[in-house]
Amino acid sequence: TPSSSLAPTEQPAQGSERAWFRGGRRFRSPMLQLHKEILDFCDFISPSAEEQSSRTAAVQAVSDVVKHIWPHCKVEVFGSFRTGLYLPTSDIDVVVFETRAKTPQGLYALAKALSQKGVAKKIQVPILTLSLSSGNNVVSGSLIFLC
């Protein structure tokens, strides 16, 4: 019967491998249970408003420093952050166009400026990989530099 497929059963133990499962009820129908677990998992790994805000602030901080050095350049985000499909451990990918700077020197200049402004730590060149603190979150990213 339809109502029997909605009947609750036992909950998973706290700290189990399905910590993301929000519970409430379990279904006797495996298909309905799977559907509920998929929805719970998607909610669990989706970014919170705070995480989204931290990442957006980090992108803006990097963009502000880049624009200070090269006012006419173009800064664009690409990858999983741009599409909204990023995971909590994903980095942010940024590309800088039209700087007219020489690639290695430009990257080192940008790394120095990001560090001096306190925007980023642990910067590595030739592709800028960096860690940014924004609020309570640490965001990592890659910055590709195209002249």
- Please tell me the pTM assigned to this model: 0.67
Domain ranges of the chain: 2-45, 49-145
Q: Residue 66 burial by CB count (10 A; 0-12/13-18/19+): exposed, middle or buried?
A: buried
CA separation, residue 2 to residues 5, 34, 136 (Å): 6, 17, 46
Say which CATH topology domain 49-145 has.
Beta Polymerase; domain 2 (3.30.460)
pLDDT, position 87: 86
Sign of CA dihedral 76, 79, 84, 86: negative
**Residue at token pair 């420093």:** 65
User: Can you read off the two tokens belonging to residue 34?
Assistant: 């799977």
CB 70 within 8 A of CB 96: yes
pLDDT of residue 21: 65
Half-sphere exposure of 147 (CA within 13 A, CB side): 8
Mean pLDDT, to the nearest integer, of 94-104? 78
Please indicate whether residue 19 or residue 105 has the higher confidence score (pLDDT): 105
Q: What local confidence, expressed as pLDDT, does residue 71 receive?
A: 92
| 3-state DSSP helix/strand/coil % of the chain, to nearest 5 | 40, 20, 40
The first and second tokens of residue 36, run together, are 């509920």
CB atoms inside a 10 Å sphere around CB 133: 15
